């Protein structure tokens, strides 16, 4: 698969195709022309000797120190070396690739003033599957993660290549590439902007889109197993609240459950169900609405110029503008909102699966095993889901509202957007596990009702799981089965 960027607006799904699914990335002729024009401006500034921040001055609080042309390449190299001071566990391959994608998108506008050669080298890292080793911690929004990627470009540090960890110089040589020598402004451009938080949030959007669809399915299975009252999903009633997400989840739930003999026979057995059952359209739908907002913010950022400074005009009539486009406030807020939305999807799922294992409300055998007592069944799986929800409550605390002062008072308001994106990814991983537990428990609960009682949609979902995980008759090792349920969900499309 090949993806072409540069002639039309970029969407987050394209980043996912390259970062997560291995699509080859190319840039259009128009993008290369824009990059070349921007570099012409930088070279004109250097040749003229006129002072421009980040091109021939120091950085941050050192912006009033001017540098001779002979030191500009050294400044770029030193910027990468000094800024590459991240700590902690390494980012996974797909996350590094997503950051690379967002950086290339940023440079493709031609407003950063980097060279064609630099962007070609970044593309080569992607398309030769050379993944710089990037520590996950140390960013207040940008700088450190991209600095580690920049080190790999110049042949310093280690990378992952062909299932091995090797020195960057060795991987470049084996791929037929040479280390890159950054010129004026290129070191600053490499570490600047919002590619880190934006690329990471693209991956989180991919997870969230699939989780929202799966939540409707596992929720429908629980609803049917607990003999819920379908009147709560009445289309006319739901239409009285103009939430696009709620309408979609309501439609999906009706489609999944409309032909259920079990629910038809259960109509009227209670006046109303618990909110974890009857409020699924409202809760899932609210999360869908926040997802749509977050996706719009990320797409806006992907199509933005987020370097500082930006070079505008022509080589004859140029401007270098110091501004704050690298401030990632919009992405940070979007990531924080999406974290809250996904935490709620996991929270309501945990309440549903708790009802499944409780014979006082389920009408099913205790902990969903035929011989409780000698068997604990699904008892502790609910504990695990509760633990994950508790962790998600911590991860859903907003990062963007925190603040620190850096660079000698020069950068005194920070987005902390990279931290927001990283905790969002961790939280989404927890929601995969919570929904997988609901999937297991709901399928087990439906087994007690018999095949002829089930809706076609929920029966198909249960059958998909049963191809990998057998019905429980007695206690067996549960942890691998949770992992298999996650795999089933991640490998299959949950759209109807």
Catalytic annotation, residues = 53
First-to-last alpha carbon distance for the chain, in angstroms, is 25
CA 231/CA 427 separation, integer angstroms: 33
- CA torsion 425→20→180→315, rounded to 10°? -80
CA 311/CA 114 separation, integer angstroms: 10
Query: 310 - beta bridge partners?
Result: 321
Say if residues 41 and 309 touch (Cβ distance below 8 Å): no
Nearby residues of 134 by Cβ (< 8 Å), 6 or more positions away? 86, 90, 91, 95, 96, 99, 145, 148, 149
Cβ neighbours, 10 Å, residue 403: 11
**Among 175, 192, 81, which residue's Cα sits nearest to residue 125?**
175
Query: 27 - beta bridge partners?
Result: 5
CA 331/CA 345 separation, integer angstroms: 21
Nearby residues of 483 by Cβ (< 8 Å), 6 or more positions away? 436
Query: 90 - beta bridge partners?
Result: 135
Locate tokens 């079990």: which residue? 262
Q: DSSP for 161-190, please give it.
A: ETTEEEEHHHHHHHTT-------TTHHHHH
Q: What is the DSSP letter of 91?
A: P
Is the Cα dihedral 472, 478, 484, 486 positive or negative? positive
CA 187/CA 325 separation, integer angstroms: 17
**Among 201, 169, 493, which residue's Cα sits nearest to residue 332?**
201
Strands (E), 308-406: 310-313, 318-321
Locate tokens 């390494």: which residue? 90
**132 membership: H or E segment, kind and range:** strand 131-132
CA 383/CA 100 separation, integer angstroms: 39
Residue 47, SS3?
helix
**Among 395, 205, 424, 397, which residue's Cα sits nearest to residue 301?**
205
CA 287/CA 284 separation, integer angstroms: 5
């Amino acid at each position: 698969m090949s993806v072409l960027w540069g002639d039309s607006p970029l969407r987050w799904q394209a980043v996912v195709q390259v970062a997560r699914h291995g699509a080859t990335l190319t840039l259009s002729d128009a993008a290369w022309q824009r990059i070349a024009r921007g570099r012409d401006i930088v070279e004109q500034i250097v040749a003229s000797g006129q002072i421009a921040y980040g091109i021939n001055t120091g950085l941050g609080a050192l912006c009033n120190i001017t540098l001779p042309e002979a030191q500009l390449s050294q400044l770029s190299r030193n910027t990468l070396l000094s800024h590459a001071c991240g700590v902690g566990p390494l980012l996974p391959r797909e996350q590094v690739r997503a950051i690379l994608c967002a950086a290339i998108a940023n440079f493709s506008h031609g407003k950063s003033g980097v060279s064609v050669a630099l962007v070609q080298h970044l593309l080569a890292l992607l398309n030769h599957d050379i993944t710089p080793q990037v520590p996950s911690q140390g960013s207040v929004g940008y700088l450190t993660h991209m600095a580690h990627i920049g080190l790999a470009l110049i042949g310093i540090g280690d990378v992952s290549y062909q299932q091995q960890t090797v020195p960057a110089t060795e991987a470049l040589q084996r791929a037929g590439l040479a280390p890159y020598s950054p010129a004026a402004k290129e070191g600053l451009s490499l570490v600047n902007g919002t590619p880190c938080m934006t690329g990471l949030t693209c991956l989180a959007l991919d997870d969230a889109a699939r989780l929202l669809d799966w939540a409707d399915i596992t929720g429908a299975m629980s609803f049917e197993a607990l003999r819920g009252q379908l009147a709560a999903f009445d289309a006319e009633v739901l239409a009285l609240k103009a939430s696009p997400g709620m309408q979609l989840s309501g439609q999906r739930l009706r489609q999944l459950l409309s032909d259920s003999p079990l629910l038809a026979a259960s109509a009227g057995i209670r006046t109303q169900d618990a909110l974890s059952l009857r409020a699924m359209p409202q809760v899932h739908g609210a999360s869908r609405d926040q997802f749509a907002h977050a996706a719009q913010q990320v797409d806006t950022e992907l199509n933005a110029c987020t370097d500082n400074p930006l070079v505008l005009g022509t080589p004859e009539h140029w401007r270098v503008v110091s501004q704050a486009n690298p401030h990632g406030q919009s992405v940070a807020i979007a990531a924080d909102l999406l974290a809250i939305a996904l935490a709620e999807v996991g929270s309501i799922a945990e309440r549903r699966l708790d009802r499944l294992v409780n014979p006082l409300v389920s009408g099913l055998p205790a902990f969903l095993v035929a011989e409780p007592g000698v068997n604990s069944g699904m008892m502790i799986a609910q504990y695990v889901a509760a633990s994950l929800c508790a962790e998600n409550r911590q991860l859903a605390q907003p990062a963007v509202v925190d603040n620190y002062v850096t660079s000698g008072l020069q950068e005194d308001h920070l987005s902390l957007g990279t931290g927001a994106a990283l905790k969002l990814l961790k939280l989404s991983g927890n929601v995969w596990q919570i929904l997988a537990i609901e999937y297991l428990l709901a399928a087990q609960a439906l087994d007690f009702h018999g095949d002829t009682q089930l809706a076609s949609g929920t029966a198909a979902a249960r059958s998909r799981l049963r191809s990998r995980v057998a019905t429980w008759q007695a206690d067996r090792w549960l942890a691998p089965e949770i992992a298999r349920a996650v795999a089933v969900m991640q490998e299959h499309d949950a759209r109807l």
